[in-house]
Amino acid sequence: MNDRAHQVAGHDFDVDLLDFSGNMLVRAAVRVRAANTGFIRTLQTDFRSADLSESNYDVIIAAAVLRHLRDDEDWTQAF
């Protein structure tokens, strides 16, 4: 993440980062922190089973996630 999201929002914002890989979470948190001073929460989990509150997000960005959905059940659960 570069500072583009910050530029578009016009202010700092809180971020939840989800990934299976702890190393990827660390790398992502470093990148987000370079452009944003909001709260960063990292969750090492599958987004389909993550404990996320409904109606709690303004924007959701799913990078390299959709290619991992294998069947109709995966797609239904994801959306």
Greater confidence, 37 or 4?
Answer: 37
How many Å separate Cα 19 from the centre of its chain?
Answer: 8
pLDDT for the residue numbered 6 = 66
pLDDT for the residue numbered 10 = 76
Per-residue pLDDT band for 3 (boundaries 50, 70, 90) equals: low
pLDDT for the residue numbered 26 = 95
Domain layout of the chain by residue ranges: 4-78
Q: Which helix (H) or strand (E) holds 41?
A: strand 40-44
pLDDT beyond 60 at 2: no
**pLDDT tens, 16-67?**
999 989 999 999 999 889 888 899 999 999 887 888 887 787 777 777 777 7
Rounded Cα distance, 5 and 13, in Å: 9
